[in-house]
Structure 1
């Protein structure tokens, strides 16, 4: 049975392997053992922390488990850029006009900003390629199920950075056209710097004035708001949830930044709480759904057969045991969105 639960310290070797396999471009999942350990410890502390109104330092990391093996990981940061500004480029239109020459031009520009600082952030997502269908949906949406059950811990708006375009050698056309000029570093080098150093170097080295998009090479322009093929499945899941491509892009590779109102997401709107009824077997027409308990540190979500009834939801004993619930307990249930 595919299961999602909070990360544990013992998962470090598996998380390190997933971080290495994720390759270039997933800066929120660094292939750095010390940083990964710090994030696991921070996550453990966050799950144990008592819920309070207002988001802060909390960081919740989850793992996707199949038969005891960790095959995916994902996280939720309660506030993007809690300790330092969260930088992005904002797409804007400048108007250049001359009444004398009868010229009126609308020009696409990029402005460095930290508008998204403080928003809830989905991050650190990577799934073993063998699990990019059911496993990816379970892992991605289980985070939102957790948010639904722990609503006090999170704010109103949520973001997710999509991995932008780069080739197998790690060359990013967007980075080469802008960032490399100011950093004199290749994309993989700056990604490592982003992981191991303070993010203040962004403000120190990146230009604060507008970047005129028409002046960029065509390849760099074409990369703006694009999503790397490896992240297309993740992007599809989030889009079906209600995330939209907003006016923001990643400052490194130009990848799309998705945004949404948390309470308008599909999982938040359509998941429901039901009383558990444990049964020996379910009817043949029972549907596979995403179900999760309502705990924090002991949170568990699974894909399991269930049967909705007037007085609750019927699940089998194995599912109840995995969720750690007994008859009469409340669990959250929502439909799959496979497509």
Structure 2
């Protein structure tokens, strides 16, 4: 049975393996053993905290288990850019007009900003392909079930950066047309710099004035707000939740940045808490649902059939074992996205 739980120090080799497999562009899952170890320790500290307010730099890392093997990972940063600004490009329109010449032009520009600083952030998502079909939704939404149960730990809005376009050689058309001219580094080099050093180098080297998009090469313009094919499926999971591509793009590869109001996400709007009854034979009407316990340090989530009868959630002993719950405990339930689509169609 699949299970999502907080990361442990012993998971480091598996996390490192997945960081390598995730390829370039996923700076929130760096292929750097020391940085991964640091993030695991940050996560262990965060899960050990008592309830806290939203102004927090806590970082929560989860893993997806299949049997005794770790096959996926995903994280939440309680406050993006807590220690230093979270940079992105804001996509907007300037109007250049001349009444004398009867000219009125609307020009697409990109302005470096840190508007998204302080928002909660979903990041570091990766699932091994062999477990993506069943495990991907569980891993992605288990984070949100945790947010629902620990709402005071997170802010009002949430973001998720999508990987932008780059080729197999690691060349990003957006970066080559813009960032490389100021950093004199290729995309792979700047990715490593981003992982290894303070983000303040962005403000030190990138232009602070607006970038006029029509002056960029066509290939770079076409990459703005686009999503790498490997990220289309995770993006679909998030858009079904209620995330939208807003007016922001990644400062390195031009990939879309999705934003949402946390309380309006599908998982938070529809998830409900129920007392548990553990039963070998479930009542009629049992359907697959995502199930999570209501703990913090020992948070666990899984996917299994649940029967709701008289305000009680009947679950199988196997699911109860995975979640470490017994009859009388409370769990948080939400329907699968496919089931939700069926209910609303």
Distance (whole Å) between structure 2 residues aligned to residue 252 and residue 166 of structure 1: 11
The answer to whether 1:85 aligns with 2:85 is yes
Q: How far off is 1:45 after superposition?
A: 0.3
Deviation string 1:23-58 (CA, Å, 9 cap, x unpaired) is: 001000000000000000000000001111223110
Consecutive aligned runs of 4 or more in structure 1 exceeding 6 Å deviation: none
Aligned residue in 2 for 1:224 = 224
Deviation string 1:147-173 (CA, Å, 9 cap, x unpaired) is: 000001111000000000000000000
Distance (whole Å) between structure 1 residues aligned to residue 318 and residue 265 of structure 2: 30
Range 284-293 or range 149-158, more displaced? 284-293
Aligned residue in 2 for 1:12 = 12
Distance (whole Å) between structure 1 residues aligned to residue 312 and residue 286 of structure 2: 14
Range 297-306 or range 274-283, more displaced? 274-283
Distance (whole Å) between structure 1 residues aligned to residue 170 and residue 279 of structure 2: 52
Distance (whole Å) between structure 1 residues aligned to residue 5 and residue 312 of structure 2: 24
Alignment of 1:34-183 (within 5 A): 34-183=34-183
Aligned residue in 2 for 1:302 = 302
TM-score normalised to the size of structure 2? 0.97
C-alpha contact 1:132 1:233 (8 A) present in aligned 2: no
Query: 3-state SS of the aligned residue for 2:337?
Result: coil
Q: Which runs of 5+ in 1 are unaligned?
A: none
Q: How far off is 1:284 after superposition?
A: 6.6
Deviation string 1:163-207 (CA, Å, 9 cap, x unpaired) is: 000000000000001000000111011000000011111000000
TM-score normalised to the size of structure 1? 0.99
Distance (whole Å) between structure 1 residues aligned to residue 284 and residue 183 of structure 2: 60
C-alpha contact 2:284 2:307 (8 A) present in aligned 1: no
Q: How far off is 1:96 after superposition?
A: 0.4
Aligned residue in 2 for 1:274 = 274
Deviation string 1:93-136 (CA, Å, 9 cap, x unpaired) is: 00001111111000000000000001000011111112222211
Q: Which runs of 5+ in 2 are unaligned?
A: none
Distance (whole Å) between structure 1 residues aligned to residue 174 and residue 38 of structure 2: 31
Deviation string 1:69-104 (CA, Å, 9 cap, x unpaired) is: 001100000000111110000001000011111110
Query: 3-state SS of the aligned residue for 2:148?
Result: helix
C-alpha contact 1:120 1:155 (8 A) present in aligned 2: yes
RMSD: 0.9
Q: How far off is 1:309 after superposition?
A: 1.1
Distance (whole Å) between structure 2 residues aligned to residue 132 and residue 245 of structure 1: 23
